[in-house]
Amino acid sequence: MAAPYRMMGIVNVTPDSFSDGGMYLDAEAAIAHGLLLAGEGADILDVGGESTRPGAEPVGLEEELRRVLPVIEGLAQEARSHPAALQLSVDTSKAGVARAALAAGASLINDVSALRADPQMAEVVAGSGADCCLMHMRGDPRTMQQDPRYGDVVEEVRAFLRERLEFAVAAGIARERIVLDPGIGFGKTDAHNLELLRRLDELASIGQPLLIGTSRKGFLGRIRAHAAGAGEPGGPSARLAGTIASNVLAYERGASVFRVHEVAPVADALAVAAATLGATWTARNAGTRART
């Protein structure tokens, strides 16, 4: 029986991502890493050529295409012989990159701007029949962590996601193909991130699949350091336990797509969570996954 959630493995083809920047710049290395994640249980591979870490500088269209297209083409070729359905996603806010990636074999557009950065993006997604993920972000990667403030972060994120959902549907994107992402770490303080996780069921009530991306993020390291009485948080490699905990909690509160760097351990934890929560939870969430 298929799991009531989907694993999205991260394939960063960037020199400056906060966790693994520069590790998979070579297309062959990125393809091999993607296949490793698929072997660990990834249902989706999310290929990105522009870092969205806090303070990241934008990347030009041609450079982003140069980074991601060979990887998507290589993974698409490998996916044809993959024993399970493997969906390819491109993490971009540029319509030109999305269009080329879809032609190369991608079928999901993961847009951190929620179709706001490029006025042609909605048309590209609608015309292709692809799935898309719409994320909440305050500002852009260069400015998003400059004193983010909210009255009620959950209510404001919920209203934003509802508005972008309706915009996408009005633009011709099928509702059942849309995933929503509250944007953990994108224009939020640590307290905002925790409040969103704590009240994630309020976002799930929108009725769309929810994607959660907490993997290796800085707030997990700061929580760990505070609990241990340490002066400085550990680096990204020390955040696996926090990644697992936050994803399990998010699953219990209604998330169904999990974007992670390390697929196998998070998938194992979610399998235990799903077995523990049992058929009642599975039935409650039936039909909320995006069609692939």
> Can you read off the two tokens belonging to residue 81?
């012989």
Verify whether residue 164 is a known catalytic residue. no
Verify whether residue 80 is a known catalytic residue. no
> Are 285 and 4 in contact, with CB atoms under 8 Å apart?
yes
Helix axes 263-284, 240-252, angle to 10 degrees: 10
Of 199, 217, 239, 253, which residue is the catalytic one? 217
Q: Report the distance separating Cα 136 and Cα 144, nearest Å.
A: 11
Of 53, 199, 259, 289, which residue is the catalytic one? 259
Ranges assigned E (strand) in 13-105: 44-48, 87-91
Q: Report the distance separating Cα 180 and Cα 110, nearest Å.
A: 10
Instruction: Please list the residues that pair with 9 across neighbouring strands.
Output: 45, 260
Ramachandran region, residue 194 (left: φ > 0; alpha: ψ -120 to 50; beta: rest): alpha
Q: Report the distance separating Cα 36 and Cα 227, nearest Å.
A: 33
Catalytic residue positions, numbered = 217, 259
